[in-house]
A and B are shown apart, each in its own frame.
Chain A
Amino acid sequence: MLCTGAAVAAVGAWIGWAGWANLMAQQTAPPPPPGNAKAGQTLFLKIGCYQCHGNEGQGGAAGPRIGRSPMLAFRNFDTYVRAPRGEMPPYTTKVLADKDLADIYAYLGSLPPPPAVDSIPLLKVGP
């Protein structure tokens, strides 16, 4: 088995971040459709979102943070998921219904904020 190199992964991740950052800059704030957060959490793990974004949408080497950082407007979220401009695989309506996407969005919106960084002694930088 072979895995892709760190440099390729890093560049790929950057493209994802850059595409996502552009969307963040362009977003307006239409109201999101109603969604079921619990069903969304199940879907988030079932269809592979966690693979790049982490179980709590916290982000990773292959995908940006997408939970509460702040939340992307649903319209831009939907646009990106259906036809990503970066590295993310596309999720069409054939494999992910609009309602399911709304559930995933609701799950991401339901995530609690993280603890303040200064409240975590282990995250002190350096020796």
Chain B
Amino acid sequence: MSQKKKPTRRSFLTSGMMAGAAAIVSPVAAAAQEPSSSSADVEVLTTDSCGSDYMVDVIKSLGFEYVCANPGSSFRGMQESIINYGGNRNPEFITNCHEESSVAMAHGYFKAEGKPMAVLAHGTVGLQHASMAIYNAWCDRVPVYIMLGNYVDAAVRRPAEWYHGVQDCAGMVRDYTKWDDQPASLIHFGESAVRAYKIAMTPPMAPVVLVLDATLQESPQDSKTKLPIPRLTMPALPQGEMGAVTELAKLLVAAENPVLVADRLARTPAAMPLLIELAETLQAGVIDQGGRMNYPSLHPLNQTQRAAAAVGEADVVVGLEVADFWATVNSLRDQLHRSTRKVTKPGAKLATITTGDLYIRSNYQDFRRMADVDLAIAADGEATLPALIETVKRLISGDRKRAFQERGMKLAEASRSARERMRQAATYGWDASPLSTARVAAELWAQIKNEDWSLVSNYYSEAGVWPRRLWDFNKGYQWLGHAGGGGIGYGAPSSVGAALANKKHGRFSVSLQTDGDLMYAPGVLWTAAHHRIPLLSVMLNNRGYHQEIMHVQRMCNQRNRGVDRGTMGSTLTDPNIDFAKVAQGMGLHGEGPITDPKDLGPALRRAAAAVKRGEPALVDVVTQAR
């Protein structure tokens, strides 16, 4: 590329402003004033180095594999640097049709891969689209690395860029992000980009926002000195204070019936073996609340399918990164007059280990009700487990070991009985149409159980419960938890994001996809097809927002003025949505609607074959409500 005279930033801005002013005053006159192209002092219109190239250097140093975005002009410089300067590799640009999909894909990707994904969006209209998904990630304590384009300098904005310029980009999501910055220089960007990564990935993890000034992205980078890239050094994680850990170990060893309750405990694959070791050492029951994949579903000490009974019997209840410990040991009755009661037995000792005690914000109430506990350890649960296990082992006497063995046998029998009851329960409505969600879970298990499978998404429904009742979960990536904030629309994009992470590992990704969720932003199906992301989406199509139907039904009953119209306003019928055609229109293999249970197995087999070829596929199953 021939270069004549590189403008300084000041001359670039000045010429930009002058051109803009001339255009407003008189286009004809402005054209007449343009310098001749033959002039020796010709305006420089190209550059081979720009601010966003350095930004890409920094982003690459942080190890991002992908950046999800719906394209937007306020980050056009960054997008060009990613695809040309960066070679569209690490990160690779993933095209989304909605910014909410971008963030939710990053949410699902993290939970499968354990690394954050980057997201690009307009600082105004893009962030507004993305905000609900950011809230979900915040509530789920999942790091998402969000970069927002912004036109800070009003003097260089094109007309449309006034809509894309904002004084305080991150302000609207500051209540549910952990940190943000708007760097004013490239050096500033480098430091803040590395700092943002470090903050996002330090428990309690959460989304962060970095605002990329469009002028900083697009201005020629004429520094002769290579700009430094700050080194990322992750901090040692906060472990429980040893005095408190010893106190907890004493409680556990002395307890007659302790129960360990895990929710977002498993930050890495190392957590599950640690929790197994602690439970087996104590022969204590474990309840996996499912915020992460914490404990094997078929382990004899797993008491998840009889959780209420296990908590009610316990004399020591330990919450390990439990998002809502109050609701673990109390219940709230949703009748006309709400009431609460403890579900633990009198005198039961309650203890928690959670990073939730290290960081809290005021406005949004996701911190839940204050739990009354005997011992609270403000620390990372997974990081604290090794010391707790070691201390427990040191304190166990021979007598206690014998008591533990007896307890373990009783728990194993209780677990086996609970699972047997679940199998029996699945037989009811087995041949029904619409299909029972138990039947769907069993049919799906038959198709995937011999694969290296990963259930990448499911919802707060009976359908989400049935796999955990019937399937053999024993790996960290086989269950990826929930949306966090309960914002609908998470399921489809998060499953595509997790499937993207699973792709390079050769895992078979499967999602239980609800109809109401998919209708928020179905364009993510196209993203899956476009980027060849193999994923088997099995639609649990109950043709409505069933949770809301139940809420309105409750109001109908409480007010005693008719109980037969509770579905009005919450159904997705008339017309029924043909999700197979929707999927086919986006380039997926589509099957359905399945209304006869006998048709489901063959449809799943055909769809699974497409997924094994590397394609996404969708099977629309018309199911009962839950």
Contacts and interface: CB of A to CB of B under 8 A. Distances in A.
Contacts, number: 174
Interface of B: 289-290, 298, 307-308, 323-324, 327-328, 331-335, 343, 419, 423-432, 434, 436-438, 442-443, 445-446, 449-450, 459-462, 464-465, 470, 472, 482, 485-488, 516, 545-550, 553-554, 556-558, 560-564, 566-567, 624-626
A23 interface: no
A96 B426 CA distance: 30
A10 interface: yes
Nearest to B424: A117
10 contacts: A3-B460, A6-B460, A46-B564, A51-B550, A56-B432, A58-B438, A60-B462, A61-B626, A69-B428, A90-B557
A25 interface: no
A14 interface: yes
A29 interface: no
A58 B425 contact: yes
The bracket for how many chain A residues form the interface is: 35 or more
A9 B334 CA distance: 11
A50 interface: yes
B548 A92 contact: no
Contacts of A127: 449-450, 472
Contact of B470 (A51, A57, A115, A125): A125
B563 A96 contact: yes
Contacts of B566: 48, 51
Contacts of B307: 10, 14
Interface of A: 1-12, 14-15, 18, 46-48, 50-52, 54-62, 65, 67, 69, 86-87, 89-92, 94-96, 114-117, 120, 122-123, 125-127
B562 A62 contact: no
B624 A54 contact: yes
B434 A55 contact: yes
A57 B429 CA distance: 8
A52 B442 contact: no
Given A7-B328, A47-B564, A123-B470, A87 B428 contact: no
Contacts of A58: 425, 428-429, 432, 436, 438
A119 to B, nearest CB: 9
Nearest to B330: A11
B326 to A, nearest CB: 10
Contacts of B423: 117, 123, 125
B461 A61 contact: yes
Contacts of A67: 428
A68 B130 CA distance: 48
Nearest to A89: B557
Contact of A6 (B290, B516, B567, B626): B290
Contacts of A115: 427, 430-431
A94 B307 CA distance: 37
Nearest to A68: B428
Given A3-B486, A3-B488, A59 B428 contact: yes
A63 to B, nearest CB: 9
B472 A126 contact: yes
Q: Top 6 A-B pairs ranked by shortest CB distance?
A: A89-B557, A58-B428, A114-B427, A14-B308, A58-B429, A122-B442
Given A14-B331, A125-B470, A1 B427 contact: no
B452 to A, nearest CB: 12
A50 B625 contact: yes
Nearest to A69: B428
A125 B550 contact: no
A9 B460 contact: yes
A61 B546 contact: no
Contacts of A126: 298, 472
A95 B332 contact: no
